[in-house]
Amino acid sequence: MPKQKGILQLEGALGDLSFYHTKWGWLVRRKGGASKERIATQPCFQRTRENNLEFAQAVQAARLLRQAFLPMIGKAVDKQLMSRLVQALLRVIRTDTLHERGQRQLTSGRLELLEGMAFNAGSTPANVLPASCTAGISTTAGSAWVELQSFIPARSLQAPAGATHYRLGLGIAGIDFATNNALLQEVQTGLLPLDDAPTDLLRLEATLPGGQPHTLFAALGLHLLQAVNGSHYPLHDGSCLWLVAVSKA
């Protein structure tokens, strides 16, 4: 890759040259590549067209999944969420053994591969909420449940300094990828103290209204708060959201 060595540093396009900055310094490259028409019509780009179709499906599914859980996400996200969701959904699409390449479907793949995925990178139930956690989905009832065995909040929860309370939430989302529709139902605990008292067995259950013949996703959220003069303020650090169960329609 050619480098710019002059004192005049440009960024952007100039004729058929593109100038841009990287961690290796200022670089320049010539515009080129296949045109959209060639990619869309020529046999040599058949694999590219197949990849593009499946990638587009993953992007649309990622948007739906993110939108479905948006009320629960809050600050429990990072800037790479969409990118990570797309890559995870692509992996599921590629496990479809029923359809030809380029026509593989998310709902025909191994959706259970999404279980454990965090909406914010670096947080997993194992390192943020190490209490024994089990979860499941009933497709006939359109419901999800999660159980947490007894734990000591002050020792088990990886909370930032200043956190005094926490809240857990369980959401079940029914997503119809054919019509691009999604529905979410969420239940939450009350405010719980971040202290040294062991908790009782904690069970949450959320149910979608009516029959929902969609793909079902269950997510567990942990939100940390700080009590000041009788008010509770959410803390951005330490809030997490994970997919804990997935079930096909």
pLDDT in tens, 204-239: 999 998 766 689 999 999 888 999 998 999 887 778
pLDDT digits (tens, 9 = 90+) for 88-122: 999 999 999 999 999 999 999 999 999 989 888 76
* Average pLDDT score over the chain: 84
Q: What pLDDT does 36 receive? A: 73
- Indicate the pTM of the whole model: 0.81
pLDDT digits (tens, 9 = 90+) for 7-39: 455 555 666 667 666 766 666 666 666 667 776
pLDDT digits (tens, 9 = 90+) for 164-210: 999 999 999 999 998 999 999 999 999 999 999 999 999 999 999 87
Average pLDDT over residues 62-73: 92
Q: What pLDDT does 229 receive? A: 92
Q: What are the domain boundaries of the chain?
A: 1-32, 38-247
Q: What pLDDT does 11 receive? A: 54
DSSP string, the chain: --B--SS----EEETTEEEEEETTEEEEEE-----HHHHHH-GGGHHHHHHHHHHHHHHHHHHHHHHHTHHHHTT---TTHHHHHHHHHHHHHTT--SS-TT---GGGS-GGGGTT-BSSTT--HHHH--S-EEEEEETTTTEEEEEE----HHHHS-PPTT--EEEEEEEEEEEETTTTEEEEEEEE---EE-SSSPPPPEEEEEE-SS---SEEEEEEEEEEEEEETTEEEEEEEEEEEEEEEEE--
Q: What pLDDT does 237 receive? A: 75
